[in-house]
Amino acid sequence: MSPRHNLILQAQTGDGRALDRLLAEAQVDARRYAMRHCVTNDVDDAVQEALMAVTRHVARLKSAGAFAGWLFTIVRRECSRLTRRMFGHDDIDDEQVANRLATMPMDELRHELVSALESLPPQYLEVVLLRDFEDLTIAEICERLGVTVQAAKARLRRGRLLVREYLVGSDHPGAAPVPRVDLAD
């Protein structure tokens, strides 16, 4: 049995010191995972919320061996929740996007698209560029980046959604204004 496995079992029985040590160890893994899945300024909040959830629910964990997967699921959910809160909504109306883009002058649309792409976190930007600009298949992207099909598809979907949210900006009801990148700098 691994030392972490023992810590989990002790924390599940109410051992406060074991829980503190488990949280200290888990924080490193949670932070590394959040750096890949959260918008940069949400990493600390996502990790803190995830560790609080671990504290509240570790006793309910059925298998100590499932701890890492459970922790990463919590972090991923927190990253998603914080991103949704940041943008003020979950979904964007396709008709609204089409209307907004159809009425924009071509030069402004190009500028906005470049700004939207520049605003993406690196892991999303890379996949969007490989798929939509280099026309690589998902399999080719997976091979090039060394990620799973699921990870590539998720990053592509999230990257495209962030670009759409950026392009729609504050015209979306209830949406918080999205900061624009000035290309003149």
Report d(CA 4, CA 1) in Å as an integer: 8
**Confidence band for 176, pLDDT divided at 50, 70 and 90:** very low
The set of residues, in sequence order, having a beta carbon less than 8 Å from that of 114 and lying 6+ positions away, is 183
Higher pLDDT: 163 or 144? It is 144
Is 3.40.50.11540 the CATH classification of the domain at 94-171?
A: no
Over residues 106-134, the pLDDT tens digits come to 888 888 888 888 888 888 999 999 999 99
Q: Which CATH architecture has domain 3-87?
A: Orthogonal Bundle (1.10)
* Of 128-132, 161-165, 166-170, highest mean pLDDT: 128-132
pLDDT value, residue 55:
92
The set of residues, in sequence order, having a beta carbon less than 8 Å from that of 67 and lying 6+ positions away, is 4, 8, 26, 61
- Tell me whether the CATH fold assigned to 3-87 matches the one assigned to 94-171: no
**Confidence band for 172, pLDDT divided at 50, 70 and 90:** very low
Domain ranges of the chain: 3-87, 94-171
Greatest distance between any 2 Cα atoms in the chain: 64
Compute the radius of gyration of the chain from its Cα atoms.
Answer: 20
Over residues 132-149, the pLDDT tens digits come to 999 999 999 999 999 999
Kindly tell me if the per-residue pLDDT of 171 is higher than 70.
Answer: no
If you search the block for the tokens 């810590």, which residue do you land on?
7
CA atoms within 13 A on the CB side of 3: 5
DSSP line for 32-74 = HHHHHHS-GGGHHHHHHHHHHHHHHHGGG-S-GGGHHHHHHHH
DSSP line for 102-122 = HHS-HHHHHHHHHHHHHTS-H
Report d(CA 147, CA 138) in Å as an integer: 10
Over residues 37-94, the pLDDT tens digits come to 787 677 888 899 999 999 999 988 888 888 888 898 888 888 877 777 766 554 555 6
Give the pTM: 0.48
Phi-psi domain of 135 (left: phi exceeds 0; alpha: psi -120 through 50; beta: other): left
